[in-house]
Amino acid sequence: MALLLFDLVLCALLLLLAGAAMLSRSLTQAVTLFIAFGVMMALAWARLKAPDLALAEAAIGAGLTGALCFTALVRYAKQPAYPQPALWRPLTFIGLVTALLLASLSQIPLQPSSAIPALVQQHLPQSGVSHPVTAVLLNFRAWDTLLELLVLLLALLGARQAPGDLPRYRGWSLSISWSRLLSPLLLLVSGYLLWRGAAAPGGAFQAGALLASGLVILRLNQQLSWLSWRHFWVRMLVLGGLLAFVLAGAVSLLLQDLGAVWLSWPQSIAGAVILIVESFATLAIAVTLTLLVVGEPKPEVADA
Amino acid sequence: MLSFYLYLGTAVLLVGIGGLGLWRGPELLRRILALNVIGAGIFMLMVTLAYRPVMQGEPADSVLHALVLTGLVVAVSATAFALALLGRLLTRAD
């Protein structure tokens, strides 16, 4: 009963925050409400027994997306206010479609009919890790993760083609000292998440996202000025996730007998391969997300 | 049981709210936020479906969780790309 009350309050909050973000008059309000919405989503994932997602959402949905949107807000400050369009036409149409969708929810069976979760449980001992989500991401469906790293790289390359000049943010002394205090802690926690991902919720994505948020905090406070695309090793870090993945795939193809499938690790060294691939993927995800969020700063001024 | 349908309904309503924001706008930034709300609704649908085995006392469906985890990272990179394009557009308009 208490849990149902919690669910009711959480769902009502989610809907209210999303609705208010969509309908509020000022864009600043909309972005702030959207960040709060991200935090509530993380809470919902934790409630729905998805701690991996809760960790990732807390770092990505609430942290990085918020920073991204606030950067975009700066550009809107110069724009004239937009007229508010009428609401009734979209409301009628969307309301109709949503009502139909809601009515179709009763068709969803309560019993899951897929045999895949049982298969995951059955093959978990051969995967090299004991946490099922990590096993799926880095072993059973490693293709997804490989292509996802490619998507991240493409997004970064695409964003680099459209540079917009942003006013440089001069660090504020309190936030600079706070970032110095916070960043070693974030580094420690993301390292722990990476290591822990083999046996418990955690892994490359959560660790990468958390590391990225730490790097963004430092970067926004005028530290880590080497962290830009101009630096050769930063480019190598960004590419490193994909390269390590492909190399691991090629090496394990050579180590196995003929007929082995691409991206299937030999059982005896699966744990080590997953850890190596995850470490490089964490660094690649962290650096790519950081570069996506902070963008390319203008060349340093001499006195800065 | 009741919570299951509650979260399913919330997921659908989130998609609806996002669709409303996507249609109405008026700013492009709000439309990008609306796309993210729609994405959150779809993720919530998937995670709620993954929750079904928990009601029978089994662990949750890890394949769906892995898919949503991949989706979260892809969503943020797509958002970052969209915002970069938006920034370019606004700089040109000046």
Question: Residues A53, B72: contact at Cβ < 8 Å?
Answer: yes
Summarize pLDDT for A185-235 with one digit per residue, the tens. Answer: 888 999 998 888 888 888 888 899 989 988 888 888 877 777 888 888 989
Question: Residues A224, A128: contact at Cβ < 8 Å?
Answer: no
Tokens for B6?
A: 């509650």
Summarize pLDDT for B20-66 with one digit per residue, the tens. Answer: 999 987 888 999 999 999 999 999 999 999 998 888 888 888 899 99
Cα A61 to Cα A66: distance, rounded to the nearest angstrom: 7
**What's the ipTM?**
0.93
The answer to whether the Cβ–Cβ distance between B73 and A205 falls below 8 Å is: yes
- Answer yes or no: is pLDDT of A302 > 70: no
Across chain A, what does the average pLDDT equal? 85
Residue ranges covered by each domain of chain B: 2-93
A4-13 long-range contacts (CB < 8 A, ≥24 apart) are A4/B2, A4/B3, A4/B6, A6/A47, A7/A47, A7/B3, A7/B6, A7/B7, A8/B6, A10/A40, A10/A43, A10/A44, A10/A47, A11/A44, A11/B6, A11/B7, A11/B9, A11/B10, A13/A40
Cα B29 to Cα A87: distance, rounded to the nearest angstrom: 18
Which residues are CB-contacts of A178 (< 8 A; sequence separation ≥ 6)?
Answer: none
* pLDDT bracket for residue A285 (50, 70, 90): very high
- Answer yes or no: is pLDDT of A172 > 80: no
Summarize pLDDT for A30-80 with one digit per residue, the tens. Answer: 999 999 999 999 999 999 988 889 988 988 888 888 888 888 888 777 777
B-facing residues of A in 262-301 (CB < 8 A) are 285, 288-289, 292-293, 295
Residues on chain A touching B18 (C-beta within 8 angstroms): 18, 22
Question: Residues B72, A205: contact at Cβ < 8 Å?
Answer: yes
B47 closest CB neighbour out of A48, A132, A140: A48
**CB-based contact (8 Å) between A57 and chain B?**
yes
Tokens 């925050």 label which residue? A17
